[in-house]
């Protein structure tokens, strides 16, 4: 059994010449390699240990270079390839085989993984990135979430799936984390669309999840007995799993490449930080109390929703906040100065027409379900040093809130942006002459090119304070984010 004997399942575009089809694989072989518990037996295959590792590396390289191949047109073939690659990142032997690939193959694999999530199946793609990070994140060293450790009962229906993210042992990859940094830092044309799509999908997944929780809460409050469709429960749990995985990928990016968010000299950094903070505030506002639908549904302990709990999602959000704010703790704010992550750029001032910014809480809660879920965890998952960092960040945020103080008497509400009411409306759209703050129009232009108010196509955006053109249709200057239409 060797790489050249695995063939005939992957279907290429019929216009491709035969010379381009020198590597073809059968479905049974892909299925074998997509299962992380199944590895070639050196005795049965006649290979020594080195030969086994070489075979795994060859198979892994094929998967890494072809899972995103545009010549593969059949959906089943695409799914088989991405699932097989996902199986390779589950356990150390197969992950080591991927790390043993040539550097250019590893970089190409990461570049393919960091393509924008729009208009493609992205869940398995995102899960692979999570596997590169699991074991390094805040409170992310578990095989099974701590809240499930002491629970007894039927296993969740998808727990036997080898790609079930909450039931796989940590196996981080510093090698691929380094390649993620290289690819994202190397080109804003790669990093900005990817991070924007990541934030878009997080907003969608979490919003869908909360909407389903509200339906379940309403049903549970009815006086008559109500049966909830098991399909709805599965979708709800899946949306939670997707939101959690997206948060962990954001935690990885923020940790390994924080300058993408905090270095305002970089294009789009201020916009990305503002949008990230909006979403983190949205998650905290929904999750950190018992009175909302999240706490209510968790307390019901509904079969099928066992994975939904405060611990996994709060630790993911906490890990992002700690990374963003920890560097501010070294140099505490003086006078009226505010650090990047906790200043105006980090408060989520801008918003698109599709998402209004939530009001950020003055400080994270020190008691209640959030503190219980995180602070009550086993020291194996969160140690005293990490809890001390959380307390320091909370104190720092409270100090920043006191520093900002009340609105000065000279501020005029009429001059504020009517989208977010957080910044002055200094950006003028041409030709319709409507205005908003620069943060709002920047976020809006990432996805659309029409005016907020009249839906006319925006040809140009001018900053009134400096008189500079910050956006032109099809052409952008150096300090303006790349739009995606």
Flag whether pLDDT at 436 surpasses 70.
yes
The phi, psi pair for 298, rounded to 5°, reads -60, -40
Range 427-445 burial, b when 16+ CB lie within 10 A, else e: bbbbebebbbbbbbbbbbb
- Dig out the tokens for 317 from the structure: 């959000």
pLDDT digit string (tens) for 103-134? Answer: 999 999 999 999 999 878 899 999 999 999 99
- Dig out the tokens for 228 from the structure: 């909830």
Range 464-478 burial, b when 16+ CB lie within 10 A, else e: eeeeeebbeeeebee
- What SS3 string covers 358-424? CCCCCCCCCCCHHHHHHHCCCCCCCCHHHHHHHHHHHHHHHHHHHHHCCCCCCCCHHHECCCCCCCE
466 or 480, higher pLDDT: 466
Q: Give the pLDDT band of residue 463 (cuts 50, 70, 90).
A: confident
- Dig out the tokens for 40 from the structure: 């070639």
The phi, psi pair for 445, rounded to 5°, reads -75, -10
Q: Give the pLDDT band of residue 147 (cuts 50, 70, 90).
A: confident
Across 426-434, average pLDDT: 89
What is the percentage of the chain residues whose pLDDT exceeds 90?
31
CA distance 367 to 372: 7
Highest mean pLDDT of the ranges 14-23, 35-44, 48-57, 396-405: 396-405
Write down the domain spans for the chain.
3-101, 146-404, 413-472
- Global confidence as pTM: 0.76
pLDDT digit string (tens) for 246-287? Answer: 999 999 999 999 999 998 888 788 889 989 998 999 999 999
- The CATH homologous superfamily of the domain defined by 413-472: Zinc/RING finger domain, C3HC4 (zinc finger) (3.30.40.10)
């Amino acid at each position: 059994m060797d790489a050249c004997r695995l063939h005939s399942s992957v279907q290429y575009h019929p216009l491709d010449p035969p010379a381009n089809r020198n590597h073809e694989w059968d479905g049974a072989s892909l299925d074998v390699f997509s299962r992380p518990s199944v590895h070639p037996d050196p005795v049965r295959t006649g290979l020594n240990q080195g030969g086994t590792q070489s075979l795994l590396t060859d198979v892994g390289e094929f998967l890494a270079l072809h899972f995103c191949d545009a010549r593969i047109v059949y959906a089943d073939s695409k799914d088989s390839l991405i699932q097989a690659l996902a199986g390779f990142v589950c356990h150390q032997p197969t992950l080591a085989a991927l790390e043993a690939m040539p550097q250019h193959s590893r970089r190409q694999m990461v570049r393919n993984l960091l393509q924008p999530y729009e208009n493609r199946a992205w869940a398995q793609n995102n899960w692979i990135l999570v596997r590169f990070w699991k074991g390094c994140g805040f409170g992310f060293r578990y095989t099974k979430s701590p809240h499930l450790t002491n629970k007894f009962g039927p296993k969740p229906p998808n727990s036997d799936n080898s790609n079930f993210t909450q039931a796989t042992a940590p196996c981080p990859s510093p090698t691929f984390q380094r390649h993620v940094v290289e690819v994202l830092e190397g080109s804003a044309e790669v990093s900005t669309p990817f991070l924007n799509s990541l934030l878009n999908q997080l907003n969608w997944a979490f919003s869908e999840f909360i909407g389903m929780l509200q339906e379940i809460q309403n049903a549970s409050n009815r006086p008559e007995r109500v049966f909830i469709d098991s399909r709805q429960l599965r979708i709800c749990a899946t949306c939670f799993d997707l939101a959690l995985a997206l948060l962990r990928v954001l935690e990885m990016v923020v940790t390994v490449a924080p300058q993408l968010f905090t270095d305002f000299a970089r294009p789009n950094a201020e916009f990305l930080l503002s949008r990230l903070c909006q979403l983190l505030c949205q998650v905290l506002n929904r999750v950190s109390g018992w009175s909302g639908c999240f706490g209510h549904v968790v307390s019901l302990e509904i079969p099928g929703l066992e994975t939904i709990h405060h611990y996994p999602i709060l630790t993911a959000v906490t890990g992002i906040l700690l990374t963003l704010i920890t560097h501010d703790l070294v140099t505490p704010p003086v006078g009226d100065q505010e650090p990047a992550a906790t200043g105006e750029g980090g408060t989520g001032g801008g918003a698109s027409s599709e998402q209004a910014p939530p009001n950020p809480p003055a400080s994270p809660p020190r008691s209640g379900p959030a503190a219980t879920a995180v602070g009550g965890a086993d020291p194996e998952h969160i140690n005293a040093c990490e809890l001390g960092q959380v307390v320091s960040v909370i104190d720092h945020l409270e100090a920043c809130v006191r520093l900002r103080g009340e609105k000065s008497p000279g501020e005029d509400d009429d001059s504020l942006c009517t989208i977010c009411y957080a910044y002055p409306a200094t950006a003028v759209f041409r030709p319709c002459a409507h205005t908003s703050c620069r943060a709002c129009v920047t976020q809006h232009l990432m996805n659309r090119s029409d005016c907020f108010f009249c839906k006319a196509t925006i040809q140009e955006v001018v900053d009134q304070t400096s008189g500079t053109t910050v956006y032109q249709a099809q052409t952008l200057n150096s300090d303006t984010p790349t739009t995606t239409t």
